[in-house]
Amino acid sequence: VTLGVLYKVYRDVAILQHALRGMAAVAAGLLLASAVGMAAALPRRLVPWLFLLLAFAGVGVVRWPLLYVMAALAPFAMYFAWRRR
Amino acid sequence: MAQALALFWHFLLLGCLAVGGVSTVMPDMHRYLVDEMGLVSAREFADLYALAQAAPGPNALWVTILGLHAAGSMGAIATTLGVLIPATSVSYIASLLHAKHADAPLALAFRRGLAPVALGFMLASCWLLLRAVGHDWRSYGLALVALGVAMKTGINPLWLLAAGAVLGMVALV
């Protein structure tokens, strides 16, 4: 929280802006690393990867509200997982 | 106050949807705060995320400073409680159920079915963060290097973030 307050005060200092850009790029890479690590555990089948792609496209590319994407995908995702048990 | 309440409801909803951590619902925080309400700019969103990663303490702290930046101290309380209440109650109930019915078919279908969906959301988070940092080969390259190093070595992420800060200053100033 202290950092959040400090950010408000110093965010216009140019050198900090650049530092933060670098940190944000690294943070994105780190998040990607954990996502890749988890994706490696997914079964190598079409259906789960299709759902991954749809979830990514709906929320990340088209930018639909996450609630709608979740409501649309979750029943089918669970149904397919249920059938394969 | 009304704004803090609106934030609270939205984050409460997101907290209920956060299967597998806050980073899965991050894209919707971005959509709501940046695109819809205009309370936070895309750059600030990415900055705050990076700061929270570097700060000690739980990662969910990020939600707090996001609320603080969007709507002051009431906003900070609103977003934090909004995410925390469902997270704790759901995981409490889930752990009770899980102990009894870990192998129940429905529980398996829930976990296996939703895992790829949650991962898709997480990838969308990465994508939005990268977009916020800027369309330029240096930031994409830096993210890729961080990805590679993190996966190969299991080094403490703080070192990578520090390296990112230094590289940001040297390469972009």
Say what the pTM is. Answer: 0.89
Q: What is the pLDDT of residue A30?
A: 92
HEC letters along chain B: CHHHHHHHHHHHHHHHHCCCCHHHCHHHHHHHHHHHCCCCCHHHHHHHHHHHHHCCCCCCHHHHHHHHHHHHHHHHHHHHHHHHHHHHHHHHHHHHHHHHHCCCHHHHHHHHHHHHHHHHHHHHHHHHHHHHHCCCHHHHHHHHHHHHHHHHHCCCHHHHHHHHHHHHHHHHC
Interface test with A, best of B44, B121, B136, B156 (most A CBs within 10 A): B121
Q: What is the pLDDT of residue B173?
A: 46
| Residues in A 35-64 with any Cβ partner in B closer than 8 A | 35-39, 42, 48-49, 51-61, 63
| Option in B117, B123, B165 nearest A73 (CB) | B117
Could you give the C-alpha distances from B97 to A23, A82, B101, in angstroms and in order?
40, 18, 6
Q: What is the pLDDT of residue B137?
A: 82
Q: What is the pLDDT of residue B93?
A: 79
Q: What is the pLDDT of residue A85?
A: 62
Blockwise average pLDDT, block size 10, chain B, 173 residues: 90 86 88 92 90 78 89 92 84 74 75 90 93 82 92 87 89 62
**Model confidence pLDDT, tens digit, residues A12-65:** 777 888 888 899 999 999 999 999 999 998 988 999 999 999 999 999 999 999
Chain A residues within an 8 Å CB radius of B14: 66
Q: What is the pLDDT of residue B102?
A: 65
DSSP A45: S
